[in-house]
Structures are given as structure tokens and as C-alpha cells.
Amino acid sequence: NTALFLEQPEMMWPDEAQKTLHELRVHQIELEMQNAELRNSQAALAASNERYFDFYDLAPVGYITVSAQGIILQVNLTTVNLLGLPREQLLKLPLSRFIFQEDQDRYYMLCHQLIKTGRPQANELRMTRQAGTPFWARLEALVAQDDPGTQVLRFVLSDISERKQVEEKLRLSEERFRGMLRDVPGVAVQGYGMDGLTTYWNPSSEVLYGYSAQEAIGRSLLDLIIPPEMREGVTQAIRQMAETGQPIPASELSLMKKDGSRVMVFSSHAIVQLPGHTPE
């Protein structure tokens, strides 16, 4: 800032000096307004940078920018925490270094498809932290242009280890459950959805009704073992079970085998709700 001191009374200044003084005062006001505008712009920029820090660095997912050659160019704090290396050490490293060895092909296929098609891609694969600890990750990627106009790949990295652990526990639990049903001697067990389509057919069912599991699964239970005269009543019973959650009462029934002959059975039903599946 520059201050001007004019010590003589204005009446003693020539007209030209009065005009110059007026222009200087107007210019001073304009400068003050510009300074205020600049301060406001700087405050807005600071607020924008703070929001950028919140949205980018503190996002619940990792953000990674990678060159077309696979080199890490930019990461946020979430990525730093997930991979276990400081930001400055992550930059210039290939992202493939953090992909689990057995899942490298998945990563390279994702990048290949991304560059080839230009369309967003996603895959789930295992990654490793700097300490060598593996974790399950979901990578979502798209092609973009950086400031100089060169092609880059932008990844969103999500840690899905917890979900994968739940899925694995569910798979093992369902496998044990189906194993128990498979190994029940002399008891025919069928699983079917509320639409009547067969989802499970144990070995004893194969022996009793004559259909292999491959033949039975995916077909309507009505067509397989329910005689024509019973199908309307069974359809209504299944619909009621779906609506009320109450199983069909156990009873003796004359059902149908593959060759059309009848077999007397004692039939009971149980509704099984497996997480992630519709009731059967």
C-alpha cells in the first residue's frame, strides 16, 4: 500500500492538481474494493481446499490416480492407511506391487479392459499391505485426463474383507447344512423356493423318486412328484406358507415317481431362511 500526503490546502491547488487528487482518491477506493474481493476469494479458496481435504483425503474409500503405465501418481489418506506406506513412498510405485500374486491376472485384465473400451470397470481381488497382510478389496476404475491432457486411470479402493469373511462363513455354514441333509440315510429331502422350483435334491430323493439331482433341480416340484389331482391344493398350500410363514402340516401322501407309479410317504415341511437367500 502507498500513502500520499498533500499538505497544502485544496484551495491553493491548481485545477489540474485537484483533478489528479480526485482521481487518486477514486483509485484508492477501487484498490480497497479489489483488496476486499481478493480477501473474499482467498477465504473461499481456503474453504474449498478444506472441503476438498474432507471429501478426498478423509473419504471412507481410497482414491488412487495411476498413470497409463500403472505407476501411482496420487493417493488420499485412506489409501495410505489401507496400504500402510506414507504418501511420498507410495508415489512412483506400481499399483501392481500391492496386488496379491494369485490375483495379478484379474488386475491386469481390469486395466486392459479399461483402456481398451474406455468404460468403467470393477473387480474384487486380494491386495496386500506393506507389512504383507492380505485383504480383500473392490477396485472400481475409469479412464480420465490429467491437467497436461495425458491419460490416467482413477481407482476407487474399498476394503471388503469383512463382507468376504461373512460370505465365507455363510458358504461354509450352508455347505455343512446341505452336507447334513445329503448324508441323512433313508430320508428324502428336497428344497424348493416359494415359487415351487426345486433347489435341492438329496441322494435319498434320487433313490425314492427316480430323478437324479441334475434332472430335478430347477424344475417345479409339482411336475416332479405331485400327482395332477393334488397340484392345485399343493399350490395353495405353498402360497399360504409364503404369506404366513407357517409350514404345511405333516401328513401321509401318495406321491408320484419318475415312472408314474405311486409311493406312500410321510411328508413334513420346514421353512429355512439362509442369509442372502429367499426362504425355502
Grid cell at residue 88: 511420498
Instruction: Supply the pLDDT for residue 50.
Output: 53
Instruction: Supply the pLDDT for residue 202.
Output: 86
Q: 84 with 97: CB under 8 angstroms?
A: no
Q: 256 with 226: CB under 8 angstroms?
A: yes
- What's the DSSP call for residue 197? B
- Give 115 or 19, the one with higher predicted confidence: 115
Q: Is 132 left (phi over 0), alpha (psi -120 to 50) or beta?
A: left
Could you tell me the sign of the dihedral formed by the alpha carbons of 75, 80, 83, 89, in that order?
A: positive
H helices, E strands: number in the chain: 9, 9
Share of the chain above pLDDT 90, in %: 42
Quick: pLDDT tens for 47-81: 555 555 567 787 889 999 999 899 999 999 999 99
Q: Average pLDDT, whole number, for the chain?
A: 81
CA distance 250 to 87: 65
Beta partners for residue 255, in sequence order: 263
Quick: pLDDT tens for 123-165: 999 999 988 899 999 999 999 987 777 889 999 999 999 988 8
Instruction: Supply the pLDDT for residue 219.
Output: 93
Grid cell at residue 47: 474453504
CB atoms < 10 A from the CB of 85, how many?
Answer: 20
Q: Which of 171-175, 187-191, 239-243 is least confident?
A: 171-175
Is the full-model pTM beyond 0.85? no
Grid cell at residue 12: 491553493
For 107-169, list the strands marked E by DSSP: 121-128, 134-145, 151-159
